[in-house]
Chain A
């Protein structure tokens, strides 16, 4: 209901009540009344209070529904109303005292004060009734509602019998309705379910407020039953209203009296109830652990936070064990702590403290120290200034392995009960799983990241290999390189040189993976720069060796062949640095061209120079040179047989009339067929060069 509508509710009472007052004044002045008009006056009063009641109920709905707070609010309302009534009484005219006030003709001041008192107490009694309504119907059952309704029926019936004009007040009806209303007041007063759900603190509030309420309402009861002037003023104002106020005051008195007693009885169990509630909450919160596995720090902090909530601990800390892969040593990390310093935790871990950890590691069982200062396992902590109290250590197990320990301490000795241990054990199981999951996720994210990095490396390396081979009328080139890992150590290149010469290089870095890939990139740089300067292949390899000797690790080396194809002279000059021999197919014959040489990075300049020779081949039309790495010749099938030179030479010989491209594909296919289901165990690189110059003589 909007604010405007709420205020509109007050418009009618604001008109009606002054009308009633005016009527009273006039009536007193003329000392005459019409019976029918008296009834209308009462109806005006009833309508006014009904609307005021609706207004109060609407306002109340906007406020929180907390039992003790509600009682407190009502209490202050009642106290204020009593003060107002008391204050009004100070200005009482003489007619307020004595039985003669029962006749209806009074002074205007008397009428005004009566109206004021009736209004204040009427509003308060409505407020009390609404509050009781909420408390009684806290846990709504059919019977609850029925009993409450019965009270309302008898309340209004009792009020109704007090209406003027019908003259029922002298019959047997008013006391009967009144008595029934009292009976249902008593019945309804036992509906105190809301108390159970209060926290201990709230229960204490409830006790204080309910006893205060009981006292002020008793005062009101006495006042309403007395023959005091104020009371008579209400009666003379409106008898039904008086009954309404009186019954509600009695209802409040009895109800809050019962509230006081039952809250008092509930107090000892308050803590247990509160504990169960928080246990329930915490176990419910376990689901939070599951969603937090993406952030390890959040996760462990939630764990300590929840532990301290569950068992109301002084301090909590979580230790996780990790084993160093290289040294095999176990290290302990405090990943989250609450209310305790690292120094204090270190006290436990130090010296004799290792026994405590030893115990947990060996037994993998819950460790309960009832008194830190007197238990023989932790006595040493007393001298070290560790606070007295009890300690609970719960091992976290994952796949039967101890991954960490969750510790909690309390201020007092023997402070952990079986409930704490049970809940913590259950909790620990979930924590272990959450931690394990968190670690697995972190690991897989890291793995994915590395994989992405490797993919980048792979792309970069692919770009180091020639994107396009030279297109020359007299020569055909075809090449392929495949890595067995994401990145490899094989390298080939076809380089355009001055004077219609073409440099062809193939290399194989020892070892595999990332280190091989780095050397491969270095090799490319060296070869590219040297190819422009060095006049002969041998010279290039010698100078490449000098550079590589410095940068290669002791156990790393590179095998390579560098050849220069001189197109005008139809010749191929090559030098070999420990690499597989080049296959030369010329007409029907085939030859493994293998000038002596030694791998790059194996030995120093002079020995390398001594070992390395150069060979020049005169090319005839249709001659084919095949450069390759040992990934081809050493490719193995399931029976561990090697592909070998013979097969390679045979396959190449069979398609000597094919184009370079077709021959490359045939050889690769043959190798693939040979190894069968398995993958390449080494990088495979193949460069086929077919000479189509000096056309048939």
Chain B
């Protein structure tokens, strides 16, 4: 099966999730688990770094939709960064840039969170 890895790190009140490999219907539950964990830990400022994400399917996109509402309700957000052109195209086709803030660089997204805090 396709390979998918999630790496999670915290810093400065922002949680960064790094995605690697293929995010599809088979691997989407892994990402769900990661988001669920963030919610239970009350970490609502989430940056998803897509630098190593090779592919995302509609099921993978569904995971963001499933959790963004709860996170935003708690004054948090999911911001997406470092997408390859191909992955960006998938997000873009579906109109995700209207719904999510997408940044070229992880640091940019992290600093956006900090600005809001101030």
Assuming the A-B contacts A510-B61, A554-B69, A555-B66, are A578 and B93 also in contact, with contact meaning beta carbons closer than 8 angstroms in the complex? yes
Complex contact B98–A512 (CB within 8 A): no
Interface centre among B25, B66, B95 (most CB of A within 10 A): B95
- Indicate with 1 or 0, residue by residue over B51-64, a CB within 8 angstroms of chain A CB atoms: 00011011101110
Assuming the A-B contacts A510-B59, A580-B93, are A607 and B98 also in contact, with contact meaning beta carbons closer than 8 angstroms in the complex? yes
Contacts of B24 in A (CB 8 A): 681
CB distance from B77 to the nearest CB of A (A): 15
Complex contact A682–B65 (CB within 8 A): no
Complex contact A578–B66 (CB within 8 A): no
Interface centre among B54, B55, B69, B98 (most CB of A within 10 A): B98
Among candidates A512, A577, A640, residue contacting B59 with C-beta atoms closer than 8 Å: A512
Assuming the A-B contacts A510-B61, A511-B25, are A602 and B93 also in contact, with contact meaning beta carbons closer than 8 angstroms in the complex? no
- Indicate with 1 or 0, residue by residue over A562-580, a CB within 8 angstroms of chain B CB atoms: 0000000000000001111
Contacts of A642 in B (CB 8 A): 55
Whole-angstrom CA separation of A634 from B66 in the bound complex: 23
Q: Does B116 contact A (CB under 8 A)?
A: no
Interface residues on B, range: 20 to 34
Complex contact B57–A682 (CB within 8 A): yes
Whole-angstrom CA separation of A510 from B62 in the bound complex: 7
Chain A interface main SS type: loop
Assuming the A-B contacts A510-B58, A682-B57, are A579 and B93 also in contact, with contact meaning beta carbons closer than 8 angstroms in the complex? yes
Contacts of B54 in A (CB 8 A): 640
Contacts of A555 in B (CB 8 A): 62-63, 65-66
Q: Does A599 contact B (CB under 8 A)?
A: yes
Contacts of A553 in B (CB 8 A): 66
- Indicate with 1 or 0, residue by residue over A586-607, a CB within 8 angstroms of chain B CB atoms: 0000000010111100110001
- Indicate with 1 or 0, residue by residue over B29-45, a CB within 8 angstroms of chain A CB atoms: 00000000000000000
Assuming the A-B contacts A512-B25, A578-B93, A579-B93, are A602 and B58 also in contact, with contact meaning beta carbons closer than 8 angstroms in the complex? no
**Number of interchain pairs (Cβ within 8 Å):** 67
Complex contact B65–A598 (CB within 8 A): no
Among candidates A559, A581, A598, A611, residue contacting B58 with C-beta atoms closer than 8 Å: A559
Complex contact A554–B95 (CB within 8 A): no
Q: Does B75 contact A (CB under 8 A)?
A: no
Complex contact A598–B94 (CB within 8 A): yes
Q: Does A556 contact B (CB under 8 A)?
A: yes
Whole-angstrom CA separation of A508 from B2 in the bound complex: 22
Whole-angstrom CA separation of A610 from B98 in the bound complex: 10
Contacts of B69 in A (CB 8 A): 554
Contacts of B55 in A (CB 8 A): 634, 642
**Nearest chain-B residue to A581 (Cβ)?**
B93
Complex contact A557–B65 (CB within 8 A): yes
Q: Which of A480-514 contact B (CB under 8 A)?
A: 508-512
CB distance from A254 to the nearest CB of B (A): 88
Complex contact B57–A602 (CB within 8 A): no
Interface centre among A555, A580, A611, A630 (most CB of B within 10 A): A555
Assuming the A-B contacts A510-B58, A512-B25, A603-B98, are A559 and B93 also in contact, with contact meaning beta carbons closer than 8 angstroms in the complex? yes
**Nearest chain-A residue to B65 (Cβ)?**
A555
**Nearest chain-B residue to A644 (Cβ)?**
B86
Interface residues on A, range: 20 to 34
Contacts of A630 in B (CB 8 A): 58
Contacts of A610 in B (CB 8 A): 98
Interface centre among B55, B61, B65 (most CB of A within 10 A): B65
CB distance from A495 to the nearest CB of B (A): 24
Contacts of B96 in A (CB 8 A): 598, 602
Whole-angstrom CA separation of A117 from B8 in the bound complex: 113
Assuming the A-B contacts A511-B25, A554-B69, A555-B66, are A597 and B61 also in contact, with contact meaning beta carbons closer than 8 angstroms in the complex? no
Complex contact A599–B94 (CB within 8 A): yes
Contacts of B58 in A (CB 8 A): 508-511, 557, 559, 630
Assuming the A-B contacts A578-B94, A580-B93, are A511 and B99 also in contact, with contact meaning beta carbons closer than 8 angstroms in the complex? no
Q: Which of B1-56 contact A (CB under 8 A)?
A: 2, 24-25, 54-55
Complex contact A599–B95 (CB within 8 A): yes
Complex contact A554–B66 (CB within 8 A): yes
CB distance from A300 to the nearest CB of B (A): 37
CB distance from B61 to the nearest CB of A (A): 7
Whole-angstrom CA separation of A499 from B75 in the bound complex: 51
Contacts of A594 in B (CB 8 A): 93
Complex contact B94–A602 (CB within 8 A): yes
- Indicate with 1 or 0, residue by residue over A508-522, a CB within 8 angstroms of chain B CB atoms: 111110000000000
Complex contact A611–B66 (CB within 8 A): no
Contacts of A512 in B (CB 8 A): 25, 59
CB distance from A47 to the nearest CB of B (A): 97
CB distance from A642 to the nearest CB of B (A): 8
**Nearest chain-B residue to A558 (Cβ)?**
B58
Whole-angstrom CA separation of A597 from B92 in the bound complex: 9
Whole-angstrom CA separation of A630 from B59 in the bound complex: 13
**Nearest chain-A residue to B54 (Cβ)?**
A640
Complex contact B95–A597 (CB within 8 A): yes
Complex contact A511–B65 (CB within 8 A): no
24 contacts between A and B (CB under 8 A): A509-B58, A510-B61, A510-B62, A511-B58, A512-B25, A556-B65, A557-B94, A559-B93, A581-B93, A594-B93, A597-B95, A598-B96, A602-B65, A602-B96, A607-B98, A607-B99, A610-B98, A630-B58, A634-B55, A634-B57, A640-B2, A640-B54, A681-B24, A682-B57
Q: List chain B positions with a Cβ less than 8 A from chain A.
A: 2, 24-25, 54-55, 57-59, 61-63, 65-66, 69, 93-96, 98-99
Q: List chain A positions with a Cβ less than 8 A from chain B.
A: 508-512, 553-557, 559, 577-581, 594, 596-599, 602-603, 607, 610-611, 630, 634, 640, 642, 681-682
- With contacts A511-B62, A602-B65, A602-B94 known, what are 10 further pairs, Cβ within 8 A? A510-B61, A512-B25, A555-B66, A556-B65, A559-B93, A578-B94, A580-B93, A599-B94, A611-B95, A681-B24
